[in-house]
Structure 1
Amino acid sequence: MQNKNIVTKKVIYGITGLTLLILAISLGTQTPSSAQIPPAMNGNNNNTTIFENNAYQAHNYVKLLAQNMENRLEKAAAILELTGMLPEVKNVTSVNMLEETIGQQKGIPQNADIPKRQVAKDILEKYGEFQLVFFLMPNGDIYIEEPYALQQNLSKSNFAFRDYYKGVITNNDTFLGNVIVSASSGQNQAVMAVPIYSEVKGSLTGIWAGGLDMSEFNKSLQSLNLTNNERIVYVDNLGKVVADSDIQSSNRNESFANLQGFKNAINGKSGTVKEIVNGTEMLVSYYPVKALSNNWAVLLIQPNNGNSVVSSSNYAITNNSIMENDKQKEMLLQNISK
């Protein structure tokens, strides 16, 4: 049992480094979108020049924000995928107990399948991206959830109706669902799910999943300290808010699905458009976020008054966030090699 724990810890500690190595390489090969607006080359201080300059700066800013979110999602996916290879996760040792408790409780008891619960606890302890970790049976029935208090609070026992379950079953691959209200915590979250297959027959034995902690994404945007009615939001494929720089709006069930900028970003485009937002003409800069097999977007909304949101300090904060991942990569790779 001690050897298994060592293997589990090595896998978990090595996840971020390996993921970020891949991300560092991929980020170095990205090319600007064809929708990027070039900076104005003349010195005329007219409305067109101001718009072009603001749009160009905003484009670079939302591109950085998109890359930052993609990094975090790729890291979260790697955590689930690599831990999903562990025998503690693959083996469903207490499935008979699940069948015995149908109609009595949701999932297996707290003292059942301890090895799998321990892997889930390790993930929650070491990685702030996740609010909860759980395992579903192939039919969508809940098997375990950590923290266990959330399993006890579940309002349902089968989740085959969720988009992340359908996505995994349809694609046979890691899938990130859109924002939902958690059946256990009652909070907004997006669930990332990984299919788990039997090594012997290759059949589906379950789904290993984690609920992303939206508050962590909110904190990242709110640390930018935007002013002058400026706002940045990450939105899912349906236009629902994933994270919001506006602390007053972060708990609302708000949708940006009607904005042209959102529609363009979901279709893989980037740029800046003038749009009416809450009755006021605003500049909306947008960039697609590749959310694994799903498509999300980042929107930068600012007044159409000639002032650019992209201060050097905010740009530096976002860029440093990406660079910090590289430092983590180097440290973790060193730990793996020891």
Structure 2
Amino acid sequence: MWAADQGERLGLCDNRVVHAELDFNGYYASIEGILVYRVFIMSELEHGGKALASIHRKANDKKFFCYFTGFLEGIAASGDLEPGEISPLVDQCLEFAANVSDTDAIDIVQDFEIDLLEHESIVNAIEYRSQEIDNACDKSSLNRFMGYCAGIACDDLIKFREAQGIVEYAEQNPAVLADPLAKSIVYICRDALIDGVIDQGESTDICEAITRLVGDSYADTGLSSLGGVPAFPEGALPHDLSALDGMTVVFTGNFEAKPRRILEDQLAEFNASIARTITKKTDFIIVGSEAARDWVFTHKGNKLSKALEMYHKAQRPIFISEAQLKKTLLRERE
């Protein structure tokens, strides 16, 4: 049963059914003058489902728009299109053109194909896109910052102007400092800028800090940065999974094993408690191999953000990759 304030995501608002895009088997009922929508097939809202995609589409479009704008700003930050930036730029644009239908991404690819791609065209796209972003939105600011970080680190080399851009962005958008990983990048850049030169060691330190926020760079993987997960501090599952008895486990991200309920059920066989939210009682967080489509940020969602913040304070919960989990489950069955 969905109250009107909750039902707005399903097309319900002002206590009336305005529009319903989703195909549910349910019915409408009026209780004390409030129109609610009772949903029987909740599996339609399962992680990664089409119904959930419809609900989140507007938020996702906004998220990726901000991220890609920041990515372009990172590419342009040095004042020129560097040779090592061309391939990651084109690959990022191809991914956006295929999945988000971003017209600027399409234009950039077309310019590249006819050898007309220039720094000025990137700058012009940034200026236009910047007008569409709500600078007062903290989520938009962090997604744009993450894109900028991915852009400057795509060639695995940080220049002075690029690091300077990190610090300036944080000064203009202080909300990004609420994220501990973003804050770390800003502070590392500030220290590196003191002597007016970014040496190789400082460049490496900045790139490693960025990896912890947005995952490996194009220079490391040869893949677009979109869809990756941050480099989290991975721990280890108990060698004997029976030790999970009574422990609380949370899953987050997009898993190669689909549906991820299969993995959840296998851990439940060892009497692990599978929870949906991160709390102080969470013992392990299992992170899927790819960023989830509906995460609030391009490379992490609320669960992962909260878990990382808790870990930096108390070294808990313990982070486990999907790969380690599958390997451990396979060993248990041998």
Q: Please say whether Structure 1 and Structure 2 have the same fold, judged by a TM-score greater than 0.5.
A: no
Q: TM (normalized to structure 2)?
A: 0.29
- Between 1 and 2, higher relative CO (CA 8 Å, sep ≥ 6) is seen in 1
Which protein is richer in helix relative to its size? 2
